[in-house]
Structure 1
Amino acid sequence: MKKKLIKTAVLFISIVTFIALFAMVFGSANLVIAISTVFAILIYLSKNMTANPIKNLIRLVAFNVVMGIVAYISSINIFLAIPIDFLTLFMIASALSYTISSPMSTPFSLQYVFLISFPVSLEEMPLRLAALAASAVCIMFVQLVVNKDSVKKQSKIIIPEICSGLENKISNVKNNLNDELVDCKIKAYISRLKQVIYESRKDNYYFNNESEIKFNVLIALENINDLLSRLKKDSEADAFLDEAVALINSFKRSVKDCDVNQTNHLDPLFDAFFQKYNLDNTKDLVMMKLVYQLQCLSDYLNKMKKSDQINKKEITKNEQRTNNFKSTKKFKVKLSIDPLSRSYAFRLAFAISVFAFIVNYFNLQHGNWILFTISSLTYPFYEISRQRTGKRIFGTIIGGIIVIILFSFLQLRDAGIIVMVITLFLTIFFMDNYTYSMIFSTITAISSFVLVENSTNLSLDRIIYVIIGGACAVLLSKLVLPYQESDAEKDLKKMYDEIIVGFFNDIGSAQNYTDDFKHKIMNFMLFTGMIEDKLSALIKVSNAEMITSFIGVRHALILNIYNEYRWLLANKNCIKDYKNICQDISKNDKYRNTENDEQLIGEIISQYSLKNKVVVWESIEIIRSMNQLDLFKRASGN
């Protein structure tokens, strides 16, 4: 609680200071731009824009300035404003709807609503455009301060947390304890670091050396987490886990200390472990895979040592845009789910353009709150709009009642500034609780007008307009181009299977083992992680088992395919033999029947050596999963 209070206080002081300075420089007429800038800064902290800072800054400045010019043209004529507002908001919302749960377009669509709600004269336009340009500069400045070298900063925090989670999971496995909570925590950290790596790509595609190494470390840890749940419990496994946890702990400390060059003493520890549990002596296939992944961690530790001597920012290939780039871009666009983006954009643009006309035509005092409500409550899914509307209306009513009590019954009109400051602080403090934040933000907004308006009427106005705006958002989500969570679930599942089939088709082709193809595979792995996160967000009691099963099977499959790729990348001379083995496995029914596993394991152990054991068994698991999911026949050449 103390830490949260301090964090809230720092954020509160920063926001108030920024808004005050912005208003001093650009005038009170552009105060709304300061507010939308704060909103954009907070929302976009989750999106790293520092990989291409100059390019992104130019885009932001141009985007904001053009938005200001268009908003001014819209303010000239209320009838002309209808098509202008519609087209502008449609383009903003459809172009920037990168995520399902919280569209990245929200701060900019809200900014446009601010601009058309508080227009300026032609004489004031230069200052407004300067304010919009300054807004873009502020967004980029905070990006550089917070998100610069984000992979390095976050890896130092997150990877040790994942390792600690694995240590706890090993303890639970040994003691036959439920590890569901630990497992969820590990997966959450893995998902978080994947998002950081995804956002750090240059040109939304390329990975530098450091990102590549940290990504492969993350995949190795993810494999270890999955394999621990499958390890058979016996005395040999207990002894193995005791030594494995020591390696994981050592690896954790090396990453946490962020000085891998001082960890040479770890090499003998790793060597002794691999000598004892080498893949020739180990009979358990799950244990073999664990040994292999721990070897990968050791290799990546050595790569991290070497990376200190080279430029970590260096892109590991020629940055020419290739067919691989285009194929991944297709899925990047799809991650916004085209039907969802279009339906969301149409509903938002239609509602704002129509109600902006009504507010201006009838000159409704404070009617702009209808627009603010529609902008904040129009979500991609009908279900989210419905839930948020209820909470917003409830919060607004409670906040309105509190304002009436404070300023009408208690006659605290002179305390308006104090009330505003306190409630703004509480709004920030309860930012993660929508209902509470709406109560306090309502009091803050209304208090700003208390000194010059009748507080009771103003509160009632706000409540009425919020109800109108909320009802409009829900009805449009329900009736106009409706897109529900079930539609998103269907589209996401289809997309996941398309990536798997494409991944499988590419993996056995020798011509694909280039640096550029490496970037493509890493992008695909991150895409599947994002799809899993989005599907998990759609889980309800009615579909929990189905979605969990869908993710589980495909997650294991995609990890196996990526492990095959990494093995082939290190053994390119074995690609032809690998394809022959895969063809043999796919055509021989004995490999598909789990009843033959004991015999198959014996054959693999006797016929293959070292890492080949792992890759052969993973080939069997891949073919089984592809057949189980009815995907194998969709892969080319089969």
Structure 2
Amino acid sequence: MWKKQIMYLKMFLIVVISILIFVLLFGKENLFIGLAAVITVTTMFGEDYTINPIHHTLYFIGVELFVGLGAYFAGLNPILGAIMTLIVSFFIYFAFTYDTKPTKALGFIQLYLFLLYEPVTTSELPKRVFALIFGGIVIMTLYYTLARYNFNNIFNKSIKGCINSLIENLNELINTGCIEKDNSEKVALMIKELEIKVHERLELDKNQVYSIYSKDLIVVFLKRVSSLSSEAMKREVNKELIKKTIELLKNVQDFIEDGNKEKLKNILNEYYNYLDSFKLRDDLDRYSYYNAKLSVKEFLQGLNVKENQIESYSNYIANFLKALKSNSNNFRKSLNIRSLRFNLAVKAAITLAFSVFIVNYFEIFQGKWALFTISLLLIPYAEQSNKKAKARVVGTIIGAILFNVIFYFIQSNVILIFAFIVVCIYLSMSVVSYKIRCIFITLNALLMAGVMDPSHTPYYVLSEYRVFFILIASIIVAIVMNYIFPYKMKDETNKAIKLYVYLNERILDGLIEENSDKEKLVLSFFESYRIWKKINYNNKEMKSEQIQELLILQNDFVSDVNFLIKSPMIHNNKSLFKKSFEDFKNYTKKKDFEDLAIEDLEKAKTEEERLILVLLYKLFYAVKEMRKLSDLICKE
């Protein structure tokens, strides 16, 4: 807890220093550029901008100049204000809205509104331009100071945490004979997120290909061990297997720290030889073991690959990720009202442009409070916006009441007022709950208005204006988000789930086609990453157990497909694979699907044939179950 408070205090001091620097260098009329830079940096936590920092700095400088100059022209008259707001708002929300992570538009749209209502003359414009350029530099400087993303440190910490959770599950398996469903699902989701991170990093940074390749090997291996852990403890004798697996995982953790490849290879060979001597009954529940066994072999082969093979691997992953990104971020495809980015950008641009025109044309006193609230509540999904609007209204009302009480006693004491302002700024940064944060944001806004208001409006009237404008803004946004081309999280998640089921069936059919386009198959495979990220991101808000179960099934499905694509098994057993594929496709239509699969399994002659049959069973079972889950989720 103290570490967090120290971090917040550090952030607060940096905010104060940044604002003071802007005031000293560029005058108080440009201090909001420094404040907006800090807001922008807070949205960058957890994001990787360390690769090509010069490019990012120039990009942020360009955005700052575009927004700042747009605000200057918007302040010339109400009509031009509406036009410029339409253009600038559309750009900001379109450029900084994403399917699988929070929007980063807030800092830039707040900057626009700050500068719109803190205009400068033509003679003062050059100073503002320099302040905006400096603002872009400050964003990256603060990022490196406060939020710098160190991929290796963060990834290594995450992967070791994942291994620790997996070890805890295995110990639970030894002690109780089972693993809590929540714990098992937690590990599966952690592994999937690690897999996505390592592939995305590879696309961004080809200079760390060898380090990233090793991380990918570990992630793939953890997926197999996770699969084994859910099946292995079926009888007493398997305790020894679980204990040896725990020891192996601890050695993998050591490898992450020391990078001793030879030591790890020796340990993997010992583990493989132990598995090779291990005997299991011929039933479906036990054959995840074979998957784990071959994954150890795959891990060993991966540790022995040559440099040119690693480069080939990195190009393979990077090219498909670029193709996927090009496909999903296609500009023409994005210019569609059903696109999340375009949908929000259009609604935000029109709503803000109309509101700015009304406030400016009628010169509404403190009308900017409504505009700031509108910009805060315009977030991608209607459900999120509604939740935030309620919290803001409640926080504003409580904050207004507290302001009246506080200001009644200290209105003549400027020192006390500024002391309260400082405390409120700190608390509005450090408090987690948005509703409570809004109390301090309201107190801060009203205290500053009470001190700086040249018209000397009575303090209780100021609080009434604040509550009124926040309420009006919340109602406007609620109407726009819920009734004008509504973009609802539940609806979009259901569409993504249906697309997932269709994509899985397409991937499955692609495995058996004689002249199948392997590049299309693998592109579909990577496309599933994007859908998984979107569904998983949405489910963090929705908290649906059925969606989580579907995501776990999808993890296993993708893992098994990937295993088949990489393995020579299909090529070595073409006739068996083709016949069994058609048989299993027919079995899924029958009630005794598992019994029929076990009958085929008993006829298998080799370990490789058994593994093919088990993988086919798992693939068809996963698709069948996901189809059922999809229907259930969409009916809710």
TM-score tier (shorter): 0.7 to 0.9
What is the alpha-carbon distance in structure 2 between the residues aligned to residue 581 and residue 81 of structure 1? 70
Matches within 5 A, 1:80-479: 80-99=80-99, 102-143=102-143, 150-174=150-174, 175-176=176-177, 178-187=179-188, 189-190=190-191, 193-194=194-195, 196-197=197-198, 200-202=201-203, 208-255=209-256, 257=257, 259-261=258-260, 264-278=262-276, 281-283=279-281, 284-297=286-299, 316-317=314-315, 325-332=322-329, 338-411=338-411, 412-430=413-431, 432-453=432-453, 454-479=458-483
What is the alpha-carbon distance in structure 2 between the residues aligned to residue 438 and residue 392 of structure 1? 6
CA pair 587-191 structure 1, distance change in 2 beyond 3 A: closer
Q: Match for 2:472: what amino acid?
A: I
Q: Bigger CA drift: 150-159 or 95-104?
A: 95-104
8 Å CA contact retained: 1:90, 1:348: yes
Partner of 1:27: 27
Which 5+ residue runs of structure 2 have no aligned equivalent?
629-636
Aligned to 1:451, the other structure's residue is in SS state helix
What is the alpha-carbon distance in structure 1 between the residues aligned to residue 265 and residue 409 of structure 2? 74
Aligned to 2:47, the other structure's residue is in SS state coil
Q: CA RMSD in A?
A: 3.7
8 Å CA contact retained: 1:96, 1:103: yes
CA pair 322-246 structure 1, distance change in 2 beyond 3 A: closer
Deviation of residue 52 (structure 1)? 3.7
Q: Match for 2:328: what amino acid?
A: F
Q: Bigger CA drift: 38-47 or 339-348?
A: 339-348
CA pair 512-129 structure 1, distance change in 2 beyond 3 A: farther
8 Å CA contact retained: 1:162, 1:190: yes
What is the alpha-carbon distance in structure 1 between the residues aligned to residue 154 and residue 309 of structure 2? 19
What is the alpha-carbon distance in structure 1 between the residues aligned to residue 538 and residue 277 of structure 2? 37
CA pair 204-271 structure 1, distance change in 2 beyond 3 A: closer
What is the alpha-carbon distance in structure 2 between the residues aligned to residue 455 and residue 311 of structure 1? 71
Does 1:486 pair with 2:490? yes
Partner of 1:39: 39
What is the alpha-carbon distance in structure 2 between the residues aligned to residue 512 and residue 209 of structure 1? 31
Partner of 2:582: 587
Partner of 1:496: 500
Q: 1:576 aligns with which of 562, 571, 578?
A: 571
Partner of 1:527: 530
What is the alpha-carbon distance in structure 1 between the residues aligned to residue 464 and residue 205 of structure 2? 47
What is the alpha-carbon distance in structure 1 between the residues aligned to residue 8 and residue 147 of structure 2? 20
Sequence identity percentage: 18
CA pair 101-315 structure 1, distance change in 2 beyond 3 A: closer
Q: Bigger CA drift: 291-300 or 370-379?
A: 291-300
What is the alpha-carbon distance in structure 1 between the residues aligned to residue 195 and residue 561 of structure 2? 18
Q: Match for 2:479: what amino acid?
A: L
Q: Match for 1:622: what amino acid?
A: L
Aligned to 2:452, the other structure's residue is in SS state coil
Aligned to 1:366, the other structure's residue is in SS state coil
CA pair 386-531 structure 1, distance change in 2 beyond 3 A: closer
Partner of 1:635: none
Residues 390-416 of structure 1: CA deviation (Å, up to 9, x unaligned): 111111111122222112135454312
Aligned to 2:339, the other structure's residue is in SS state helix
Deviation of residue 207 (structure 1)? 8.5
What is the alpha-carbon distance in structure 2 between the residues aligned to residue 206 and residue 602 of structure 1? 49
Deviation of residue 580 (structure 1)? 4.3
Q: Match for 2:76: what amino acid?
A: I
8 Å CA contact retained: 1:396, 1:438: yes
Aligned to 1:346, the other structure's residue is in SS state helix
8 Å CA contact retained: 1:89, 1:345: yes
8 Å CA contact retained: 2:177, 2:233: no
Deviation of residue 597 (structure 1)? 3.6
Matches within 5 A, 1:530-545: 530-537=533-540, 539=542, 544=544
Aligned to 2:426, the other structure's residue is in SS state helix
Deviation of residue 337 (structure 1)? 9.3
Residues 443-481 of structure 1: CA deviation (Å, up to 9, x unaligned): 222223333344333222222211111111112112211
Partner of 2:634: none
Residues 103-130 of structure 1: CA deviation (Å, up to 9, x unaligned): 2323223322223232222222222222
Deviation of residue 148 (structure 1)? 6.7
Residues 560-585 of structure 1: CA deviation (Å, up to 9, x unaligned): 11222333xxx4xx653465444222
8 Å CA contact retained: 1:586, 1:623: no
Aligned to 2:43, the other structure's residue is in SS state helix
Deviation of residue 35 (structure 1)? 1.5
8 Å CA contact retained: 1:26, 1:128: yes
Deviation of residue 351 (structure 1)? 1.6
CA pair 427-511 structure 1, distance change in 2 beyond 3 A: farther
What is the alpha-carbon distance in structure 1 between the residues aligned to residue 42 and residue 316 of structure 2? 34
What is the alpha-carbon distance in structure 2 between the residues aligned to residue 9 and residue 162 of structure 1? 31
Aligned length: 610
Aligned to 1:23, the other structure's residue is in SS state helix
What is the alpha-carbon distance in structure 1 between the residues aligned to residue 107 and residue 495 of structure 2? 26
Residues 263-296 of structure 1: CA deviation (Å, up to 9, x unaligned): 6444433322211112885553122223334445
CA pair 449-406 structure 1, distance change in 2 beyond 3 A: same
CA pair 280-518 structure 1, distance change in 2 beyond 3 A: farther
Q: Match for 1:587: what amino acid?
A: E
What is the alpha-carbon distance in structure 2 between the residues aligned to residue 53 and residue 280 of structure 1? 52
8 Å CA contact retained: 1:408, 1:456: no
Residues 75-105 of structure 1: CA deviation (Å, up to 9, x unaligned): 2221122233123212321232113673232
Q: Match for 1:463: what amino acid?
A: V
What is the alpha-carbon distance in structure 1 between the residues aligned to residue 221 and residue 182 of structure 2? 20
Partner of 1:617: 614
Which 5+ residue runs of structure 1 have no aligned equivalent?
632-638
CA pair 146-390 structure 1, distance change in 2 beyond 3 A: closer
What is the alpha-carbon distance in structure 2 between the residues aligned to residue 299 and residue 14 of structure 1? 50
Deviation of residue 608 (structure 1)? 3.7
CA pair 240-202 structure 1, distance change in 2 beyond 3 A: closer
Deviation of residue 245 (structure 1)? 0.6
Partner of 2:632: none
8 Å CA contact retained: 2:501, 2:623: no
Deviation of residue 346 (structure 1)? 2.2
Residues 345-386 of structure 1: CA deviation (Å, up to 9, x unaligned): 222112211111111112122211111000001222222222
Partner of 1:634: none
CA pair 275-194 structure 1, distance change in 2 beyond 3 A: closer
8 Å CA contact retained: 2:496, 2:531: no
Per the normalisation by structure 2, the TM-score is 0.84
What is the alpha-carbon distance in structure 2 between the residues aligned to residue 479 and residue 215 of structure 1? 45
Q: Match for 1:292: what amino acid?
A: L
CA pair 169-501 structure 1, distance change in 2 beyond 3 A: same
